[in-house]
Amino acid sequence: MTQSSGRNLPDIRGIIADLDGVVFRGDTPIESAVRSFAAWREAGIPYCFVTNNSTRTTEEVAAKLTAMGVLTDPGQVISTATGTRGILRRTWPKGGRAYVLGAPSLEQAVVEAGFEIAEERVDCVVAGLDKGFTYARLDRAVSLVMGGARLIGTNPDVLLPKDGGFEPGAGSILAAIVAATRAEPLIVGKPQPHLIQDAVARLGIDHGQVIMIGDQLETDIVAAQRAGVFAVLVETGVPNPSGSGITPDLTVSTLTDLQAIMAGRVKA
């Protein structure tokens, strides 16, 4: 299925894409996406990936993509771990102390920002996807936020696609902290436009000639539109809620459909 909002597809000189649900599901590549990115690479169209996932380094993400057949180097990957590092550096240029719920890659980014990982007297609580999350860690995070620490969330995604279904995302952990504290978190990733803006700058192409491909209306599509980038929804990822009021510029069933539209074989 292909649906258009009526907005004309731009003269595409660069592509930004989400990962989970767009290029792969868990550890399984989406073959239509692999073929499409190979074709775009062959055509000389540069691409960059933005991911709300903070559990892997950019080197690990690039290696995973390359092994799947989507040739990628670390400079083509922007994650919420690297985004968190940038926000911490801008907000606390002299460094500080942080309590981190997340993977080693997120902790590494926090340390690179000049922060000490700590469990008391912290400036901020950074909440990402933490597969070792426990009630005790929730209790500690809530206590610190209620004591005045700033709450920073890598992303609000409550579900992530995986082989054969879905799993809770970082947004589920963040939601638990917010429910207990009523704190307003600073969100690093999508639906905020920061990662998209970073990717446009990385590509070095005017935002009017770039498209953003994602599978989630409330994060990927909103972030693209906030950044002023043409937003393409691909239906290979998580189910989207009906009646959200969010309208992509273009909806395609798979990236094969988008590739055909870009090549002029079919109309949007």
As given in the structure block, the two tokens for residue 71 are: 């040739």
As given in the structure block, the two tokens for residue 264 are: 């002029």
Q: Known catalytic residue: 73?
A: no
Active-site residue identified among 11, 18, 157, 206: 18
Q: Known catalytic residue: 18?
A: yes
Q: Could you tell me if 37 and 70 are in contact, meaning their C-beta atoms sit under 8 angstroms apart?
A: yes
Active-site residue identified among 20, 157, 215, 220: 20
Q: Which residue, 103, 114, 99, is CA-closest to 61?
A: 103
DSSP string, the chain: -EEE-SPPPP---EEEE--BTTTEETTEE-HHHHHHHHHHHHTT--EEEEES--SS-HHHHHHHHHHHT----GGGEEEHHHHHHHHHHHH-TT-EEEEEES-HHHHHHHHHTTEEE-SSS-SEEEE---TT--HHHHHHHHHHHHTTPEEEES----EEEETTEEEE-HHHHHHHHHHHH---PEE-STTSSHHHHHHHHHHTS-GGGEEEEES-IIIIIHHHHHTT-EEEEETTSSPPPTT-----SEEESSHHHHHHHHTTSS--
Catalytically active residues are 18, 20
